[in-house]
Chains A and B, each alone.
Chain A
């Protein structure tokens, strides 16, 4: 500080294009250093809990069971049909669950967005309520409801609708029902938030210009709700890809998902390299999908939706 003041005093008598340039440049450098120093704790944290583990995971995946450096862990994905089957199942479940969430969640979010403020916040509590109980508890609850002698089957049989119990749990439908229930709020919340931002005057303008209620919804409300729907879909889809508890409990061993494969590989076979490779593949595929999605959305945003 003292030296700086001295320089400035020294320069004070002198006028010209480079008056105090040195002092100003030093000051600018000092400011960026200070900002970096302030950022360093969070940068360290990110490095320690994200960069290092992922790097380690990647590193582990390059060693086979004997500890030798090889690409065997990756080659296995192409050689063994069971891996490909698991991969396909994972994406199949993710697509079905995401689709089910959209079908159930869109009307729900739409209703919430149209309700008066008070009623909407009360209903929102019911949407968020399941978050307060653990996934495990909710999954077991579904098992009780859906199993062969569960609530639904015994009701349906008592009512005479069916004679044989439906197989609702321990298969794909059980997994889909359980996961849809758990992931629905992740779609509804961003969708509701984006629907709330749609200008009601735009809808009024649509009607004023001759569009009936259905046309106004289809041509104005729905397109304007798409960004919120897209973020909800991305969240649900990505969460599906790594889901473990529900498919493990509700699938009855018939629905093998990627995360279950990882668990088996690491805890059953203690093959850490193979497990790490599974993690890396899931990460890369997820990132690629997100990138594709981003690119599609970006193309939509820059090119006006002029067709239609």
Chain B
């Protein structure tokens, strides 16, 4: 159990799914590497759960191919797919105790009683529920149920594990704790994992790669840090992290916001209209409104300051009425130069933090 089960890669090609005439997934292609922790991230209705259900075999696609290792499984019934799954509401069997819940997949595979007991014990160990085998499911807390569901999904050493928003029912503290534990468990067992969530912070914390889904398509597939630093569409930029957008124009090989030239670190894209992504933590308060070399200056009027203990958030309005948000830590030097609401304020953005995306 402590050794990685032979993890397998998943290759999805041309997956199409319609409910009636409503397309839910459109020509979706996705490769998950062996042993990878990949997250499907998107708002509700983006098709992420449907894709997971198609992977598990509960929903039949209209078209497409799923290969696990070399084998096509698109028509394999769910009970022959050998894929572990953690359900959103855990779906523990209420008429069985913890031990029999976890032993269930082993029983279906005809594992001998002694070996079953041993493997269930190990699985309970792995999820830190030693000695709780005889408990009834309704005697467990939410976090414990979560762990039982996890143990049940990995005890038969499946080649792939799917998780459908498994932490959404837990409170915030426990959720963050479980994120780290799940991550550690994945590192230890090394199974190929496909995780579904709508929580971008959870996705960034846990994943090797994230597929951001929107309207039945994958908008961007990348490592968390690339996704945050280099979003490719307005949707990705707004879905991952906070952002404000201002319209900019590329002409003659440089970028312009109104009549001001924007310093960028990356090469200037083709001529046309773009949006500049302004992350609150990348902006900083400037003492003067003077242009500085390599720093873009945005002049605005401060509208509100929200104090949050360790940090504060400034809301300001640009001349064209667009809102800007700045977040910084409460250091005395920053607080000293803070203007009052209603006063003019200058925000600086370094050239290397400048992100341009095509407008949707």
Contacts and interface: CB of A to CB of B under 8 A. Distances in A.
Given A209-B153, A215-B79, 7 more contacts: A201-B91, A202-B93, A205-B91, A205-B152, A206-B93, A208-B79, A305-B95
A220 interface: yes
A208 B83 contact: yes
Residue from A205, A219, A223, A305 with most neighbouring chain B CB atoms (10 Å): A205
Contacts, number: 79
B18 to A, nearest CB: 18
Given A210-B109, A210-B156, A211-B79, A205 B95 contact: no
Interface in A180-211: 199, 201-202, 204-211
Interface of A: 199, 201-202, 204-213, 215-216, 219-220, 223-224, 304-306
B84 interface: yes
B203 to A, nearest CB: 23
A224 B94 contact: yes
A226 B85 CA distance: 27
Contact of B96 (A204, A212, A213, A305): A305
A209 B58 contact: no
22 contacts: A199-B89, A199-B91, A202-B93, A204-B78, A204-B87, A205-B91, A205-B152, A207-B77, A208-B56, A208-B57, A209-B84, A209-B152, A210-B105, A211-B79, A211-B104, A215-B79, A216-B79, A219-B104, A224-B94, A304-B100, A304-B136, A306-B99
Nearest to A205: B91
A224 B94 CA distance: 8
The A interface is mostly helix, strand or loop, or mixed, namely helix
Nearest to A199: B91
Contacts of B91: 199, 201-202, 204-205
A121 B79 CA distance: 31
B97 A304 contact: yes
B121 to A, nearest CB: 16
A89 to B, nearest CB: 37
A210 B87 CA distance: 15
A221 to B, nearest CB: 11
